[in-house]
Structure 1
Amino acid sequence: MTKIVFMGTPEFSVPILRMLHEEGYEVAAVVTQPDRPVGRKRVLTPPPVKEEALRLGLKVLQPEKLKGSDEMSELIHMNPDLIVTAAYGQILPKELLEAPKWGCINVHASLLPKYRGGAPIHQAIIDGEEKTGVTIMYMAEKLDAGDIISQREIPIEELDHTGIMFEKLSLLGRDLLKDTLPSILNGTNERIPQDETRATFAHNITREQERIDWTKSARSIYNQVRGLHPWPIAYTTFKGDNVKIWWAKVGDSQVTARPGEVVKIEKDYFEVATGEGTLAIIELQPAGKKRMSAEDYLRGVGSKLQIGDLFE
C-alpha cells in the first residue's frame, strides 16, 4: 500500500484529504498548522484539516515551524512514498522534499506559471481573469516553480467571488489529484518544466490591497470587492471611519462626479462615482457595526446619507 503524508490547513484542503482516505491510500500522517485564536474572543480553534483528520482517525502533527523540528525528523523516519500538500502554509525544507520515494507534489489553485504564491484565487478574481484552474506539480525549493504534472481549468463566472472559487477549485483539485495519482505512482506521469518568462505572483493580500481606490473603474473595484469576499473584505472610509464593502455591482448611472461621491440613493442600494462608471453598494459594514444590507443601512445608521457625500 502506498504510504502518503498529507499536508494542508484550510477548508480548501479537506476534500483532498478525504479523497485520499476514501481511495484507500495509507495516510501515515497529516501535517497542519497549529491551532490559532479566532474571533474577538480569541478562542483557540483547530484548522479544518485537523478536524477532518481526527474524524478519520489519522495521526496529526502541528509544528509551529517545520524546518529543524522533531516533527520533520519523524516524517522522514516514516519513509513515506509520497508527500501531498494542498494550501499547507509553510515552505518544505530541502531535506523533506528529497525524502519520499515519489517526491513531493502540490495541489495549487492556479494555472501555473501564473499566480505562484499564497493568494492565487484572490488575485485571479481581482485581476478580472475569466478562467483559472488547478495545477498538480512537483515541489521545488523555489516557490511554486516545480515541474507541472497535470492541469485542469474552470471559468470564473460574473458573480463568482473568492469563497465560491475556493470551493469549486477544492473539488476540482480533489478530482484532478484522484485522476493523476495513479500515473505518478507507476512512473508514467508527465513532467513539464514551467516557463519562467510567463511566471506571475500572487503574494498574500496586504492591507493596502484591501483599500478601495475610487479613481479606478467601477469594473476594477467590483473585481476587487468580489476578490476579497468573504475575506479579508474591501474597505473604504466615510467621514473618517472605515467602512467594509461586502458586496457591490457595477452601477448603471451615467454621471460626471468626483470619484467616491454618492450620486444616487435608492431604497436598497446607493451608487458611488468611480474613475469610470459607478459602483452600486449592496452590502456593507460601518465601523463598529455588523454586516448589513444597504437597505438596512439607509434606514438606520446611514439614514442621513446624501447625494454629494464622499467616500475616500
Structure 2
Amino acid sequence: MISIVFMGTPAFSVPVLRMLHEEGYDIKAVVTQPDRPVGRKRVLTPPPVKEEAVRLGLPVIQPEKLRGSEELQEILALNPDLIVTAAFGQILPKELLDTPKLGCVNVHASLLPAYRGGAPIHQCLIDGQEKTGVTIMYMAVKLDAGDIISQAELNIDEQDHTGLLFDKLSIIGRDLLKETLPSIIDGTNNRIPQDEEKVTFAHNISREQELVNWQQNSTEIYNQVRGLHPWPVAYTKLHGDNVKIWWAQKSDKNHNEIPGTVIAIDKEYFTVATGNGEAINILDLQPAGKKRMTAMDYLRGTGSKLQIGDRFE
C-alpha cells in the first residue's frame, strides 16, 4: 500500500481523511493548521482535522508556516509516495511539491478553472451560480493551476448556503477521490491542463464583501447573505451600530423608497427596500452586543424600537 501525507484543516477535509484511513492507505502523518483561539473567551481549539486524526490515532504536524520550517523537514523526511490536500490553508513550497513520486493532489471545491483560491464555495453563491462541484487536481506552484484529474458537478439549490454546500461538497470530494485514487496510483488517470482563458478567482472573503449594499437588488443581497452564512455573516448598520444579517428571503413587495429603508414590519420578519424597487425580508439577525436571534424575537424584545421608515446604512 502506498504511503500518504494528508494535509487539511476544516470540517470539509474530515470525510476525505476518514476515507483514506478506512481504505487502508498508509497515512504517515496528518498536517493541519495550529490550534487557534475561538469564541469570545478565546478558548484554544484544535482544527477539525486534528480532532479526527487524534481519534484515528494518526500523528499530527501543525506548522504555523510551512516554508523554511522544521515541520517541513519533518514531512520531507517521511518521503511519502503521495500528498493529498483538502482545504489545508497554506501554499505548499516547491520543495514539497517535488518530493512524492506520485505527486501532490488536491481536492478543490469548484469546477476549475473557475474559482481558484480560498473561498470558492462562498464566491459561487455570492455570484448566484446554479452549479458547482469538486475537482481533483495535481498541485502546482501557481495557486490552483495544476492539471485536472477528475471532476464531479452539483446543482445548487435555491436554499443552499455556504454551510450546506460545504457539507455536500465534502462528501462529493471524498467519493470522487476514492474513485480517482486507483488511477493516480497506477498511472492511468487523466491529466487535463486548465484553460487559462476561463480562469476566475475566489479570494478569501474580505470585510468589505460582508457589508450589505442596499442599492443591489433583492436577488444579489439574498445571494450575499447565503454566501456568507454561517460564516463570516453579512452585516449592515442601523443608527451607527453593526447588525449581522444571518438569514433573509426575497420579498414580493414593491416600493419607491430609498434602498435600506424598512418598509414593512410583520410578526415574523421585517422588510427592507433594496435596489430596482425590490425588497427583502429579514428573518434572522444579530444586533450589536447581543446573541443571534429570530426577527420575531428581535421585534418583540424590549431593546428593539424598529419602525417603518428606519434606514439601514
Query: TM-score, normalised on structure 2?
Result: 0.99
Structure 2 residue 141 is matched with structure 1 residue 141: yes
1:78 is displaced (CA, Å) by 1.2
| 1:65 alignment partner in structure 2 | 65
Q: Corresponding residue for 1:279?
A: 280
Runs of 5+ consecutive residues of structure 1 not aligned to the other structure: none
Residue type of the alignment partner of 1:253: K
For residues 239-289 of structure 1, the C-alpha deviation after alignment (integer angstroms, 9 at most, x for no partner) is 110000000000111111100001111101110000021010000000011
Distance 1:304 1:116, change over 3 A: same
The match for 2:177 is: 177
Distance 1:47 1:286 in 2: 28
CA distance change for structure 1 residues 166 and 301 in 2, over 3 Å: closer, same or farther?
farther
The one-letter amino acid of 2:264's match is K
Q: Distance in 2 between matches of 1:46 and 1:301?
A: 38
Give secondary structure in 2 for the equivalent of 1:106. strand
Q: Residues of 2 paired with 1:286 and 1:71: CA distance? A: 43
Match of 1:123 in 2: 123
* Aligned-partner residue type, residue 119 of structure 2: A
Q: Scaled by the length of structure 1, what TM-score is found?
A: 0.99
Alignment partner, residue 299 of structure 2? 298
One-letter identity of the residue aligned with 1:218: S
Distance 1:169 1:186 in 2: 26
State the distance in 2 between where 1:248 and 1:302 align. 21
| Alignment match, 2:226 | 226
Aligned equivalent of 1:160: 160
2:93 aligns with: 93
Match of 1:42 in 2: 42
2:178 maps to amino acid: K
Q: Secondary structure at the match of 2:275?
A: coil
Task: Show the counterpart of 1:258.
Answer: 258
Identity %, equivalent residues: 73
Amino acid at match of 2:292: R
Q: CA deviation at 1:305?
A: 1.4
Question: What's the offset of the Cα at 1:304?
Answer: 2.3
36-45 vs 178-187, greater mean Cα deviation: 36-45
Aligned alpha-carbon RMSD (Å): 0.7
1:306 to partner: Cα distance: 1.3
Identify the residue that residue 211 of structure 1 maps to in structure 2: 211
Q: CA deviation at 1:303?
A: 4.1
Structure 1 residue ranges (4+ consecutive) displaced by more than 2 angstroms after TM superposition? 301-304
| 1:7-47 deviation per Cα after TM superposition (whole angstroms, max 9, x unaligned) | 00000000000000000100000000011111111111110
Secondary structure in 2 matching 1:163:
helix
